[in-house]
Amino acid sequence: MKEQDSIPTSKTQRSAKFVKTGFKVGGNYIKHYSKKLFNPALNKDELNLDNATDIYTSLSELKGSALKVAQMLSMDKNILPKAYVDQFSLSQYNAPPLSGPLIVRTFTKYFGKTPSQIFDEFNIKSANAASIGQVHQASLKGKKLAVKIQYPGVGDSISSDLKMVKPFAFRLLGMSQKELEVYMSEVEDRLLEETDYDLEIKRSIEFSEACKNIPNLVFPTYYPDLSSKRIITMDWLDGLHMKEFMKTNPSQEICNQVGQALWDFYNFQQHELRAVHADPHPGNFLITPDGKLGVIDFGCIKEMPSDFYDPFFSLTSTDMLQDKTKTIKAFRELEMIRVNDSPAQIEFFYQVYKEMIELFAQPYMSETFDFSKKGYFDNLYNYGERIAGMPEFKQARGVKHFIYVNRTNFGLYNMLHELGAIVRTDTWKPHINTPY
C-alpha cells in the first residue's frame, strides 16, 4: 500500500478534501441516473460501490475522526448498503500508512529524539495502520515492543471533521437533525478521549490490571516513560487478527476458548467496573499462538452511570419484560418512551422495543449460547432493517449512552458470530441497585 508523505492538518485543507469528495459523489449520482435513463431496471449497487470507494479513499487519506466514524458504521451491518460496509471495514485493519520522514518528525516533536536514538531497533515501515494511528515494531534491551504513533493533526481536527462529515452521515444514516446532533456529540466526546494517549496509557494499565485474572486473556505491558500525548509504547504481542486466525481453520474448542475470553472480558467490565472497552472491532484484538485473546487497544472507554445501567440491564437480565407497567417505566427512564407520547405511541414503542430487548437478551436466557446460529443474526439484522424504514424512528429516541453500549454489545455479538463460538453466558451477571 502506498505510503503518505503528508496529511492535511489545517481546517482549510481538510475542508477542501471533503468538498472534492462531495463533487465526486455528486458525479457518481449523475452517472447513475444517466445510465438509468437507458436501463430503468438498474439498481444502486454500482452507485453504492462508487460512492463507498470515493468516500473511503478520501477518509483514509484524512485519517482521524472521519475515518473512525466510517469504521463505526462498518460494524453496524444493518444501517449501510453492503458496498459501504465492505469498504469502510478496511479501516478496521489497515489504512494507507505514513512515510518514514513523517514518523521521524513526530518523534522529534515529542521526545526531541529520533526513533533510532530511543530504541535499539525501530522498523520505519508500519506493521498496521488504522484510523487514529499506526503501529511500528521496535526493540529495547532485548524486549520486542509495539510503538503506536498518532497521525499528525488528528486530535486537533475532531470537531471540524465531524461537522464536515455530517452531510455524508445525514444521507447515509437517514437520521433526523436532532438525532444526528446527539450521535455526533457523543462520538466527539469519545474521540477526544481516544486521541489523548496520556489518558489511554492510564486506562490501559488500570483495565489490564482489573481484568488480569480472567482466563485466556493476555495484555501487553505499557511503558509510560517511552510514551507521550501522541505516542504509546507497549510490549509486542505475537498473534493473528480474527480474519487471519479464521483462515487457519481453528478447532471448535479453540474458537470457544477465544469466544469465552471475549464474552468474559466484556461482561466483567460492564457488570464489575461499570465501564467498558467500547471499540469491539477485530483490529483491536489478537489471537495468540496458544489460543489466548490479546487485547491491544484501550483508547475508547464508555462509562455507564447507574441511571442508565439499572433500567437497561433490568430489562435484559430479569423477568421485568413480563410486567408491562415496569417495562414502560424503564423505557421512560431510558427516553425510549417520552413524556409527551400519546397512548397510541406508547403502545407502539412498547411493542417495538420489547421485541428488540427480547432479541438482544436471548444469549442471556440460558447457561450457554451458540453464536454460530445464522438464524439469530438474520433476526437481528431483519429487525434493524425493519425499524430503520419506519417513520417513527426518524426522530431521536433513547439516551445518548445507547450509542456506545449498543455498539459494544452488538460488536461483541458479531465477533462471536465470526468465531462461531459456543460460550457460557452466565459467568458475569448484572448487579441491579434500583428495585423495580
Average pLDDT for 312-318: 89
- pLDDT score, position 18: 47
Dihedral-angle region of residue 265 (phi above 0 means left; psi in -120 to 50 means alpha; beta otherwise): alpha
Q: What is the CA radius of gyration of the chain?
A: 22
Residue 172 pLDDT class (50, 70, 90 cuts): low
- Calculate what percentage of the chain has a pLDDT beyond 70: 69
Say if 267 falls within a structural domain.
yes
Q: What is the pLDDT of residue 223?
A: 97
| Residues 9/157, Cβ–Cβ less than 8 Å | yes
- Same domain, residue pair 166 and 260: no
Is the per-residue pLDDT at 315 higher than 60?
A: yes
Q: What average pLDDT does range 409-425 have in this prediction?
A: 93
Give percent of the chain with pLDDT exceeding 90. Answer: 45
Within 13 Å of residue 404, how many CA atoms lie on the same side as its CB?
Answer: 25
383-415: b or e for each residue (b if 16 or more CB lie within 10 Å)? bbeeeeeeeebeebbbbbbbbbbebbbbbbbbb
180: pLDDT strictly greater than 90: no
* 248 & 391 share domain: yes
Smallest CA-to-CA distance from 195 within 228, 164, 167, 169 is with 228
- What is the average per-residue pLDDT within 366-392? 85
Residues 163, 261 within the same domain: no
DSSP 98: B
pLDDT value, residue 2: 47
| Residue 84 confidence (pLDDT) | 44
pLDDT in tens, 244-267: 999 999 999 999 999 999 999 999
Please give the C-alpha separations between residue 310 and each of 27, 149, 182, 315, in angstroms, as whole numbers: 49, 38, 22, 9
Last residue of a domain, one of 174, 201, 226: 174
Q: Is residue 73 one of the residues assigned to a domain?
A: yes
Range with the largest mean pLDDT of 18-27, 128-137, 163-172 = 128-137
162 and 277 both lie in a single domain: no
User: Does residue 170 sit in the same domain as residue 259?
Assistant: no
Q: Nearest-CA neighbor of 266 among 305, 311, 217? A: 217
pLDDT given at position 80: 44
Residue 384 predicted with pLDDT over 60: yes
Instruction: Indicate whether 291 belongs to any domain.
Output: yes
Residue 88 lies in a domain: yes
Pair (360, 287) in one structural domain: yes
Residues 166, 296: one domain? no
pLDDT digits (tens, 9 = 90+) for 98-127: 678 888 888 999 999 999 999 999 999 888
- The answer to whether residue 199 is domain-embedded is no
Strand-pair category, 293-295 with 285-287: antiparallel
Same domain? For 168 and 293 the reply is no
Pair (291, 363) in one structural domain: yes
What is the tally of structural domains in the chain?
2
Domain with 78 in it: 11-96+156-174
pLDDT at 132 over 50: yes
For position 23, what pLDDT does the model report? Answer: 41
The string of pLDDT tens digits covering residues 38-95 is: 455 545 565 555 555 555 565 555 554 555 555 555 444 444 445 444 544 444 445 5
Q: Are residues 284 and 161 in the same domain?
A: no
* 232 in a structural domain: no
Phi, psi at 427, each rounded to 5°: -75, -40
Within this chain, do residues 163 and 258 fall inside the same structural domain, yes or no? Answer: no
Task: Find the angle CA(407)-CA(408)-CA(414) to the nearest 5 degrees.
Answer: 85
User: Is residue 124 in a domain?
Assistant: no
- CA–CA distance, 83 with 60 (Å, rounded to integer): 16
pLDDT of residue 181: 73
Domain membership flag for residue 354: yes
Residues 241 and 170 reside in one and the same domain: no
- The mean pLDDT value for 32-37 works out to 45
